[in-house]
Amino acid sequence: MDFGELKQKSVTDLREICRSDRLKYKNFSYHTRKSDLITFIIRQNSDTHPPPTPEVISNLYDIFETEEDKEERYTEMYMEKPHDAEIHDLVNSLQSKYNESNVIFDSHNDPNNDIIYRGNKGKYISQYNSLGENGEMILYHGTNGDNLMSILSDDFRLTSNPVHGSLFGRGIYFTNDIEKAIYYSEKGKTTKYVIVCIVHVGDIIKGHQNMDIHPLMPDNHKRYDTSVDNIREPKQFIKKKNGTYNILGIITIENYKPHATSRRPSPNTSFKIKNTLYEDIILYWVPDIYVRSLHLILNNEIDKRCKRLDKIRGCKVDYPQKDGFTISRTQLSFKGHTFICVIRNNRTIVKIFTSETKNELIIL
């Protein structure tokens, strides 16, 4: 198969070629661009390329396992696993929902990551006699095509500057909401990539922005395993250690067209602020995780914990207002969201309120 023939084929056709002989084209899912796939296929068919061998054995396996162990591992590798059915159902539901798209699942088998994840689980069980309250879960991570090869080759990075923020602390963010994962992949583009992982969730705690490590549990014998956005109904799961999850594969959605129910909800409330004070006021939005403890936030921490939205000028003598007050521009919001008004100069909180209806007028 020469370059000219391959160039005429679509990315989907090239992937089908790879899927038809997974042994020869092992790890083809690393390549997301058409040019990379063509180069990869040509290289695998080259006379100078070494012939494919059975699944490469990690050096770690070679050191510790017997021939009997090796045979058992190979048998287990090709047996259907409990999560296979869950992934199959997920792909079918996505194909049904996005019936104009092409939904593909490419499995990812990395013996090294597999043994690291198994080893961490085994150590955990030997110490605590279980995998914690929530055990393991299949979770998702939406990413861009440019990041796929790096993640599959070198794992997720515990970066201090995450692309999508760190509202619930630094770490690797997973979700149990496939639509959320899709949303965070290739914004504005028609091809989406979602990494599917089996994740040790274990014991959970609600995260916050400055949570760099998970704290000790009340009995002090171990740390929490995972931080989440909401204890009762978590949607985001933050891991702070590599090796506590294993990548199972990648879901690719080609020709993606947002489904009506997958779009983010539109703001359903709005308000303006009438400032009758002499001082300039700064308006902040308060994340849900800080609403209950807002009284504990020091004035100099407001910029760290809350999101600054707008400045409303005061009625100063040097720029007097005709009616003795100024009114801010309309602020769109969601029902139940909390806001605070702070005097710009001395950082004093002058009002805390919750947005409840449309076209509210908040008077200071």
Q: What is the pLDDT of residues 142-195, one digit of tens each?
A: 888 878 878 887 777 765 455 555 678 888 899 999 988 888 888 778 888 999
Whether residue 249 is found in the same domain as residue 205: yes
- Among the three residues 231, 260, 289, which one is the final residue of a domain in this structure? 260
For residue 52, being part of any structural domain is answered with: no
Q: Which of residues 315 and 276 earns the better pLDDT score? A: 276
Among 14-28, 234-248, 348-362, the least confident range: 14-28
Residue 184 has a pLDDT of 84
In the predicted structure, residue 58 carries a pLDDT above the cut 80: no
Per-residue model confidence (pLDDT) at position 67: 63
29 falls within a domain: no
Q: What is the mean pLDDT of the chain?
A: 77
In this structure, are 244 and 279 located in the same domain? no
The predicted pLDDT at position 63 comes to 53
Task: Note whether 256 and 214 are same-domain residues.
Answer: yes
Higher-confidence residue of 120 and 296: namely 120
**Residue 75 is assigned to a structural domain of this protein:** no
pLDDT at 101 exceeding the cut of 60: yes
How far, in Å, are 200, 209, 221, 242 from residue 213 at the CA level? 16, 11, 15, 13
One domain for residues 144 and 195: yes
d(CA 107, CA 26): 10
pLDDT given for residue 154 in this prediction: 76
Specify whether 133 is located in the same domain as 199. yes
The model's confidence at residue 56, banded by pLDDT at 50, 70 and 90, is very low
| Predicted confidence (pLDDT) at residue 127 exceeds the cutoff of 70 | yes
Same domain, 107 and 179: yes
- What pLDDT score does 57 carry? 44
Residue 52 has pLDDT above 60, yes or no: no
Do 96 and 151 reside in the same domain of the chain?
A: yes
Q: Is the pLDDT of residue 44 over 80?
A: no
CATH number, position 97: 3.90.228.10
Strand 331-333 with 307-312, pairing: unpaired
pLDDT band at 140 (very low <50, low <70, confident <90, very high): very high
- What would the pLDDT profile of 2-38 be if each residue is shown by its tens digit? 666 777 788 788 888 887 876 677 666 656 667 777 7
Which of 238, 260, 282 terminates a domain? The answer is 260
pLDDT band of 295, cuts 50, 70, 90: low
Q: Poorest-confidence range of 292-301, 302-311, 329-338?
A: 292-301
- 219 and 309 both lie in a single domain: no
Structure tokens at 130: 């279980």
Give residue 3's pLDDT: 63
Domain-embedded: residue 20: no
Coil/strand/helix, residue 234: coil
pLDDT at 152: 80
- Check if the beta carbon of residue 224 is closer than 8 Å to that of residue 203: yes
Same domain, 105 and 189: yes
In the chain, the number of structural domains is: 2
Give the pLDDT confidence score for residue 31 in this predicted structure.
66
Q: What is the band of 351 on the pLDDT scale with cuts at 50, 70, 90? A: confident
From residue 4, how far is each of 39, 42, 85, 223, 272 by CA, in Å? 12, 11, 39, 57, 62
My answer on whether 177 and 231 are in the same domain is: yes
Expressed as residue numbers, the domain containing 358 is 269-363
Query: Could you tell me if residue 5 is inside a domain?
Result: no
In the block, residue with structure tokens 């054995």: 57
The H-or-E segment that residue 350 falls in is strand 349-354
* Residues 247 and 212 both lie in one domain: yes
Least confident of 279-288, 314-323, 332-341: 314-323
Q: Could you report the per-residue pLDDT of 306-320, keeping only the tens digit for each? A: 788 888 888 765 555
Q: CB within 8 A of 239, min separation 6: which ones?
A: 171, 172, 174, 199, 226, 245
**139: pLDDT confidence band, cut at 50, 70 and 90?**
very high
Sign of CA dihedral 242, 247, 250, 251: negative
Judge if 107 and 148 occupy the same domain.
yes
Task: For residue range 181-235, list pLDDT tens digits in order.
Answer: 888 888 778 888 999 999 999 999 888 878 888 889 887 788 899 999 888 888 8
Average pLDDT of 116-143? 87
Q: What is the pLDDT of residue 159?
A: 56
Choice between 226 and 82, residue whose per-residue pLDDT is larger: 226
